[in-house]
Chain A
């Protein structure tokens, strides 16, 4: 089954304790992205990756790191989490970066189930 998986699904942690949220896709997609969802703000892009070893900042990258060493995996790293990073996080992937292929089937992003993070 084609899917995007995230782990963990729920996480409660304390300020300053490094954590990693994993994201994996089995569709051989080139483009992967992380978003955070906060009430009243919609989803905001944190980082995205065009392919292996190619990552770039989204709208709200401060306090986050990512890596793309393999095509299927795109972990999100919080080196020193703070309470303002309490949020719902989504990983997403698409075959090509949105808007580049001209085809709905290859531009559409598929989303993981989400990770609810609470930083105390």
Chain B
């Protein structure tokens, strides 16, 4: 069974601080997706990482992918309150179907 695990599940951080969310997965997929969900809202795509070593940055968020370690990280730099949301990583089941698997999510709260 394909598993996607995120750490931490809950994260409370002060504005201006840096932190990293980790996403481990059990498939051999070389692609990984990050989504953001604001409270009471739908999901919005943040990043699609398409190969080993891929790095993408948008504002204060930077995502990277290490397919050999089956690990992706979402790094937050100098957090601001607007980044408070739940962040999900996800992988596809390439080679074994066309399913899509999400992690359990990381609920981030940025405190002024």
Are A and B physically bound partners?
Answer: yes
- Name the contact of A90 in the complex, choosing from B42, B92, B99 (C-beta under 8 A): B42
- Inter-chain CA distance A114–B41, complex, in Å, is 8
- Name the contact of A109 in the complex, choosing from B29, B100, B101 (C-beta under 8 A): B100
In the assembled complex, the CB of A2 is this many whole angstroms from the nearest CB of chain B, namely 13
Interface size class of A (residues with CB under 8 A): 20 to 34
B45 within 8 A of A: yes
- State how many residues of chain B have any CB contact under 8 Å with chain A: 26
Which segment of B13-21, B65-73, B102-110 sits at the interface? B102-110
Neighbouring B residues of A59 by C-beta, 8 Å: 99, 101
Neighbouring A residues of B92 by C-beta, 8 Å: 97-99, 107
B94 within 8 A of A: yes
In the assembled complex, the CB of A119 is this many whole angstroms from the nearest CB of chain B, namely 20
B39 within 8 A of A: no
Neighbouring A residues of B103 by C-beta, 8 Å: 42
In the assembled complex, the CB of B65 is this many whole angstroms from the nearest CB of chain A, namely 12
Contact with B along A106-117 (1 / 0, CB 8 A): 011111111000
Residues of chain B whose beta carbon lies under 8 Å from any beta carbon of chain A: 4, 9, 29, 31, 33, 41-45, 48, 50, 88, 90, 92-94, 97-105
Can you name 5 extra interface pairs (CB under 8 A) apart from A42-B104, A110-B45? A42-B105, A92-B43, A97-B98, A108-B45, A113-B42
